[in-house]
Amino acid sequence: MILTFAGLNTATHLSGQTGTPFEIAIDSLPTAFAGSSYFQQVNTKGGLCPATGTATSTLVSGVLPPGVLIISPVSNEKKWFLLGTPTAAGSFQFSVRLRWSHSAISPFDANCVDEAVKTLTVVVQAPVTPLVVDRAQITTTYRTGHFPPLPDAVQVTAGGGPNVSFTAQSVTDSGGAWLSVTPDRAVTPAVLSLNYSISGLRPGTYTGRVILSANNSIVIPVTLIVVTDSNIVLQPSPTSFSFSMAAGAPDPASQPLAVSVSGDSVIFQASVSAPPNGRWLTVSPNGAATPGRLTVAVVSKDLSPGVYSGVITLAVSGGNSSSRTIPVTFTIQAPLLRPAISANGVVNAAGLGNAISPGTWVSIFGTALAPTTRSWLASDFVNGLLPTSLDGVGVTINGKPAAVAFISPTQINVLAPDDTATGLVPVQVKNSLLTGDIALALQQTASPALFQLSAGSSLYAAGIHADGSYLAGPALTQSGIPGRPARPGEIISLFGTGFGVTQPRIPATAPVTSALPIARLEDLRVRIGGLDATIVYAGLISPGVYQFNVVVPQLEDGDKPVVAEFRGLLTRLDLVLTVQQ
């Protein structure tokens, strides 16, 4: 008998047998995973014994992974297998002896044994846990001009196993890096945020994907559809701007610009065109979302006196065709002159008498009173308060600021402030640079006057019928004032100023939110054609303006004198009212 060692390889055979020594032909074993079935043939080669026999194995040293055995499942086959389901992770080294035994079956045959021993290692890894996502694909639509789409959330979990560490990356096929994912690495369970950047994207369809990598890889297709929203209509308020100032004066105050879109929020940009220097007109911010509020301002630096025209353009982001243009006019007057009030230039605005009183509308006449001509605007009211200056022009009566309703170079209309002083009081006009001389005016506790309309040399009391049409006889209608005469027995409304305090009392220059009756109705009488008219109502209806609802007495047709008496003070005696049956 001859023993042959190839490594630890032996064979027992009869003289005359030839061949190569029996040996284990595998050097390494595939990785196994705990909990997963494992099947691997242990390959051999060579051997001196015949092909019939019995395969056996013996563990010489070390240990096999728990749950794994070495077996020879088929008789008379020279094959060995590692088979089973590993139950634990780790690295398992072992030495195995494989034996092939042949028993003699004739006088010419002999018993024979092939043996080989080899040390092998099996690495068992922890169970592979697959990644699982709750969204297999994502499609998002973006309408131009709107905010970018909200991020999409993707839930990532481990499929029935322990938590898994994974990485995430985003890839786009076109349009640049419009898709991103955060975080770029995490441990399950985790929530990924898919974010969209729409800058520079034109209408169309863009594709990309998010790739998750761990024990397995998952690809989530992402589609972004960009569509043009053709229904956007920007609504600016106001729709035009006008600024004015005198050369050398401070720049005019900025004005607000409100921009909205009915029932929607869109992103828009604002740009300006301001010839000749391109710098005198600004709007800020230059982009916002509706409803938005911008600030429009003008700067007079390097501009000569004159009228300048510019344009603000509002356009929706993303190439939408909706845009609006807002004209802007900037008037720079020649340098200011010192304002001067004419002699007897401070009068009651209704009757033009020389007496004034708190809460009375007052007209001031003179020269260089203001560099511009305009009435107050809604933008001049701050926090609901009446403005005390327009374009830098203000008036004080006895040192107290009056509410300014109208300015022009030759006339200013103001509402006299509260004051307890009576007699002659100082009146002064001040523009943005200069203050005029003092003029004196007679101030009383009341200065009743009815508002009037003129036709030729006649003065008519201003009033309306119950239906809102004007009180107007032939003389007024020929002067272009439509209306009809008063009729005996009907209730008409006359209007005046300077009729004292109300009940309840409010500040003289305060806004009037609801009608307020005069404090003592018994202090008032209204006579038409010399007859007392029944007073149905007498009270304040707006700052400085009183309304008197009276019943027209039974009079013959014609122009009849109208006089209001308040606490012994009479309105002017030359006002008339046309009465017709």
pLDDT digits (tens, 9 = 90+) for 15-64: 445 679 999 999 999 999 888 889 999 999 999 998 889 999 999 999 99
Highest mean pLDDT among 45-59, 221-235, 406-420: 406-420
Q: Which domains does the chain have, with CATH numbers?
A: 8-125 (2.60.40.10), 131-227 (2.60.40.10), 235-265+275-333 (2.60.40), 340-443 (2.60.40.10), 450-579 (2.60.40.10)
* CA separation for the pair 144, 209 (Å, rounded): 22
Residue 6 has pLDDT above 80, yes or no: no
* CA separation for the pair 479, 473 (Å, rounded): 10
Average pLDDT, the chain: 92
At 2 the pLDDT is: 27
3-state secondary structure 513-541: CCCEEECCHHHEEEEECCEECEEEEEEEE
**Hey, how many other C-beta atoms are within 10 angstroms of the C-beta on 117?**
20
Residue 8 has pLDDT above 90, yes or no: no
Residue 163: partners with Cβ closer than 8 Å, 6 or more residues away = 129, 187, 188, 189
At 106 the pLDDT is: 85
At 107 the pLDDT is: 84
Q: What is the mean pLDDT of residues 158-174?
A: 89
Give percent of the chain with pLDDT exceeding 90: 79
Question: Are 390 and 367 in contact, with CB atoms under 8 Å apart?
Answer: no
Residue 14 has pLDDT above 50, yes or no: no
Residue 393: partners with Cβ closer than 8 Å, 6 or more residues away = 339, 369, 370, 371, 404, 407, 412, 429, 430, 431, 432
At 344 the pLDDT is: 95
At 7 the pLDDT is: 37
Query: The whole model's pTM is what?
Result: 0.49
At 159 the pLDDT is: 79
* CA separation for the pair 48, 19 (Å, rounded): 5
Residue 11 has pLDDT above 50, yes or no: no
477 phi, psi to nearest 5 deg: -65, -35
Angle, vertex CA 7, rays to CA 2 and CA 9, nearest 5: 35
At 322 the pLDDT is: 72
At 391 the pLDDT is: 92
Q: What is the mean pLDDT of residues 367-387?
A: 93
At 334 the pLDDT is: 80
Q: What is the mean pLDDT of residues 61-75?
A: 90
Which three-class secondary structure state does DSSP give residue 21? coil
CA distances from 485 to 456, 492, 558 (A): 17, 10, 9
At 17 the pLDDT is: 52
At 432 the pLDDT is: 80
Question: Are 399 and 416 in contact, with CB atoms under 8 Å apart?
Answer: no
What tokens were used for 192? 């990924």
At 249 the pLDDT is: 83
Residue 468: partners with Cβ closer than 8 Å, 6 or more residues away = none
Read off the pLDDT of residues 470-524 as tens digits, 9 standing for 90 and up: 999 999 999 999 999 999 999 999 999 999 999 999 998 889 999 999 999 999 9
Cis preceding linkage at 504, omega within 30: yes
* CA separation for the pair 189, 160 (Å, rounded): 11
Q: Which residue has the higher pLDDT, 572 or 163?
A: 572
At 389 the pLDDT is: 96
At 128 the pLDDT is: 72
Residue 5 has pLDDT above 80, yes or no: no
Q: What is the mean pLDDT of residues 313-337?
A: 84
Lowest mean pLDDT among 10-14, 77-81, 279-283, 286-290: 10-14
Q: What is the mean pLDDT of residues 427-436?
A: 91
Residue 557 has pLDDT above 90, yes or no: yes
